[in-house]
Amino acid sequence: MTARHPALLAADPQLATLVAAEEGLQSETLRLIPSENYVSAAVLEATGTVLQNKYSEGYPGRRYYEGQQIIDQVETLAVERARAVFGADHVNVQPYSGSPANLAVYLAFAQPGDTVMGMALPMGGHLTHGWGVSATGSWFRGVQYGVRADTGLIDYDEVRDLALKERPKLIFCGGTALPRTIDFAAFSQIAREAGSVLVADIAHIAGLVAGGAHPSPVPHVDVVTTTTHKTLRGPRGAMLMCRQEHAKAVDKAVFPGLQGGPHNHTTAGIAVALHEAAQPSFRSYAHAVVANAKALAEALLERDFDLVSGGTDNHLLLVDLTAQGLPGKVAAKALDRAGLVVNYNTVPFDPRRPFDPSGIRIGTPSLTSRGLTPGHMPQVAEWIDRAVRAARTADEQALGIVRAEVRAQMAAHPAPGLPLS
């Protein structure tokens, strides 16, 4: 701690102690939340630079503040790298995070009251895809599709029927709990027939797309939205990518429509992450994330866990714990005590409430960043199984034993960006 953050320690020991404690937690636990990751030390450094100090409302070459000689270059670098990694015509790297990025799409292409369509949140979608409690579901008229009860897969015929009936202004594809490949070409065909603007929210899979481990939406959709901090392994931020014809509308929606000055230190971190994503090692990383998820799915299925859709094609698994007789929230909290960090999650057609659902969501981006391989996944599944059984019998001692084993194993796999324990 002293060596890593000496100024912080001197100025604010209380906060410095909390940062050190978080470093310890991230180091000694097995982080299985599919939307989380570890950024590299380089990304971490870039986000902690004096770029923080600068206001830059506007875009490179067209700012409302002077002194942009360097910032313009930083933003242009991030944009050009994103264009190269994703093959996009136009990129905006200024959205503060995923929800503002999605809101900018509404601002660019729809009017309040318009019909918009997305996957229902409890089926695996996202709040900002028109779900009722979000502004996107109250300022717009959200219609929602789901997955089939028998397969857990998107029914593209049902999506088409709904789109042709409702003729939504926007159709969102993508989500937060979809363990299977998204057929962007099928969505594109539907959007064309319905006369809708098609938006792919690839926040979860952006790193897999960048690394060639999931098909790219870029050739098929009007707009791509993504966060930069999940599988892409960048800082907390977001990007919008679109065809040239939409560039003006998208940029205008982000600034001045929705936001003020961009977070230049974040833009720098995004640029570094995109440089890393362009390396051959990132391709290997993306494929390893998927290989680990498939191996973990197999190992959990062998232990009679019920996986929505029967497995995974990407980085995440959605586990329905109904058969285990354990609510998702109780399981997630017990797993946390065992050093296995997951989140409780609804499963499709969940009879329970979103704040107390039937499932947990598990992902492999973080453990892959620490160098775990498919050979480690039977052990991970065994820990999950033991922790779930211990939770059923309230066996705190058994949870403590798993935690110690996890901690010992993690010590052998240092995490990017964290001090060696």
By CB under 6 A, the count of residues binding ligand DSN is: 4
396 counts as catalytic: no
Catalytic residue among 45, 57, 155, 395: 57
Closer to ligand DSN by CB, 56 or 176: give it.
176
Kindly state the tokens that stand for 113: 């009251």
- Do 330 and 201 meet the contact criterion of CB atoms below 8 Å apart? no
245 counts as catalytic: no
Q: For tokens 């866990």, what's the residue? A: 305
Closer to ligand DSN by CB, 203 or 399: give it.
203
Catalytic residue among 230, 329, 370, 403: 230
Q: Which of 29, 35, 68, 292 binds ligand DSN (CB under 6 A)?
A: 35
Kindly state the tokens that stand for 31: 């982080």
Please report how close the Cβ of residue 49 comes to ligand DSN at its closest, in angstroms: 26
Please report how close the Cβ of residue 98 comes to ligand DSN at its closest, in angstroms: 5
Q: Which residues inside 223-262 make contact with ligand DSN, applying CB under 6 A?
A: none
Catalytic residue among 36, 45, 54, 55: 55
Distance CA 190, CA 177 (A): 22
Closer to ligand DSN by CB, 34 or 327: give it.
34
251: left (phi over 0), alpha (psi -120 to 50) or beta: alpha
Residue 329, amino acid = K
Please report how close the Cβ of residue 128 comes to ligand DSN at its closest, in angstroms: 8
Q: Which residues contact 75 (CB under 8 A, 6 or more apart)?
A: 56, 59, 60, 93, 94, 262, 264, 267
Q: Which residues inside 104-133 make contact with ligand DSN, applying CB under 6 A?
A: 126
Please report how close the Cβ of residue 330 comes to ligand DSN at its closest, in angstroms: 20
230 counts as catalytic: yes
Half-sphere exposure of 147 (CA within 13 A, CB side): 25
Could you give the C-alpha distances from 348 to 74, 153, 176, 291, 323, in angstroms and in order? 43, 10, 12, 25, 15
Please report how close the Cβ of residue 126 comes to ligand DSN at its closest, in angstroms: 6
Query: Is position 98 an interface residue for ligand DSN (rule: CB under 6 A)?
Result: yes
Residue in 300, 130, 128, 287 with CA at minimum distance from that of residue 205: 287
Residue in 206, 200, 201 with CA at minimum distance from that of residue 220: 200
Query: Is position 136 an interface residue for ligand DSN (rule: CB under 6 A)?
Result: no
Closer to ligand DSN by CB, 98 or 234: give it.
98
Please report how close the Cβ of residue 144 comes to ligand DSN at its closest, in angstroms: 17
Half-sphere exposure of 58 (CA within 13 A, CB side): 14
Residue nearest to ligand DSN (CB): 35
Q: Which of 134, 176, 216, 324 binds ligand DSN (CB under 6 A)?
A: 176
Closer to ligand DSN by CB, 59 or 96: give it.
96
For β-strands 141-145 and 170-173, DSSP reports them as unpaired
Query: Is position 134 an interface residue for ligand DSN (rule: CB under 6 A)?
Result: no
Please report how close the Cβ of residue 29 comes to ligand DSN at its closest, in angstroms: 17
Closer to ligand DSN by CB, 36 or 155: give it.
36
Distance CA 120, CA 128 (A): 10
Catalytic residue among 201, 276, 313, 350: 201
227 counts as catalytic: yes
Closer to ligand DSN by CB, 36 or 114: give it.
36
Please report how close the Cβ of residue 397 comes to ligand DSN at its closest, in angstroms: 31
23 counts as catalytic: no
Closer to ligand DSN by CB, 81 or 230: give it.
230
Catalytic residue among 63, 236, 252, 283: 236
Residue in 227, 226, 206, 203 with CA at minimum distance from that of residue 216: 206
236 counts as catalytic: yes
Using CB under 6 A, list all residues that contact ligand DSN.
35, 98, 126, 176
Instruction: Catalogue the active-site residues.
Output: 55, 57, 201, 227, 230, 236
